Amino acid sequence: MSAASEPKVCLTIAGLDPSGGAGIVADIKTFSAFGCYAAAVVTSITFQNTTGVFGAVHQEPASVRGQLEPVFADLEVAAVKTGTLPTAEVIREIASILKRTDVKSLVVDPVIRSTSGFDLIDDIALAALVDELFPLATLVTPNIPEAERISGIRINDANSITEAAGIMRSKGARNVLIKGGHLQSENLSTDYLFIDNELTKFEAERINTTATHGTGCTLSSAIAANLALGYDLKEAVRVSKDFVTEAIRTAPGIGRGHSPINHLVRRQ
């Protein structure tokens, strides 16, 4: 196989969801759906299924470093996506290693709390995430509750989304995608992409479904895959938004809770 035809390597640094709907398993499926080669580093082993998160055992910084360094020593990583990063020490270790690499694209999904209400990061770790990883990120992808906690303001409309994005950019984030699925709307699910001072809205039909498990993980890993494939940021978000919307529409209804979306089919 020639170098030109080798698949792009995408690395997820995130938690393990044993039920396969979110975290590194969802990321691996998504990278593969876009024809990329998936690598994964585990930051936390969670105890969860589609009905909720019941606990977690976090990795030590040495464990994360021990996983990361051999990957970067061997593979030419085109894009990195981060998910659950449970402690300030782990975050600082990851940032230190990323600063020594030549990875062009980093998507930071600031996972704070599970859909079922389980806290996955404390205030000290969140501050480290903002300080250490926001300045390195190509894109930061919070949902509404995450954007509220990071910015410190209440979000209830497009104006407050813009204000929150401005606060996050003042904290070091170059580009911000605020996922608007938590805003009440009967017809549309709108995501807001801020690149410099430019706002682009991505609208999709709001689908009445319980198939929401892993949507955030899948969107951020899809964006990372598309950046690795050479799309510019706006197009990477557009393609990824369409991919997740179709995955929600065709979700197989696995499990008894918030079913994982179907991102097993390779994107054509």
pTM across the whole model: 0.93
The question of whether 212 is a catalytic residue gets the answer: yes
The question of whether 115 is a catalytic residue gets the answer: no
Q: Which of 30, 87, 141, 215 is catalytic?
A: 215
206 pLDDT tier (thresholds 50, 70, 90): confident
- CB-CB contact of 120 with 56 (8 Å): yes
Q: Which of 84, 138, 141, 212 is catalytic?
A: 212
For residue 1, what pLDDT is reported?
A: 40
Q: How far apart are CA 262 and CA 246, in angstroms?
A: 9
The question of whether 214 is a catalytic residue gets the answer: yes
Each residue's pLDDT tens digit, 43-72: 999 998 888 888 889 999 999 999 999 999
Pick the CATH number of 7-141+216-249 from 3.40.1190.20, 3.90.330.10, 3.40.50.300, 3.30.470.20: 3.40.1190.20
Mean pLDDT of 237-256: 86
Is a pLDDT exceeding 80 seen at residue 8? yes
Q: Which of 20, 30, 83, 217 is catalytic?
A: 217
Q: Which of 20, 21, 83, 216 is catalytic?
A: 216
235 three-state secondary structure? helix
Three-state SS annotation for 202-227: EEEECCCCCCCECHHHHHHHHHHHHH
Side chain identity at residue 87, one-letter code: T
For residue 149, what pLDDT is reported?
A: 93
For residue 248, what pLDDT is reported?
A: 82
The question of whether 216 is a catalytic residue gets the answer: yes
Mean pLDDT of 155-184: 90
Q: Which of 214, 241, 245, 257 is catalytic?
A: 214
Domain ranges of the chain: 7-141+216-249
Q: How far apart are CA 35 and CA 225, in angstroms?
A: 8
The question of whether 10 is a catalytic residue gets the answer: no
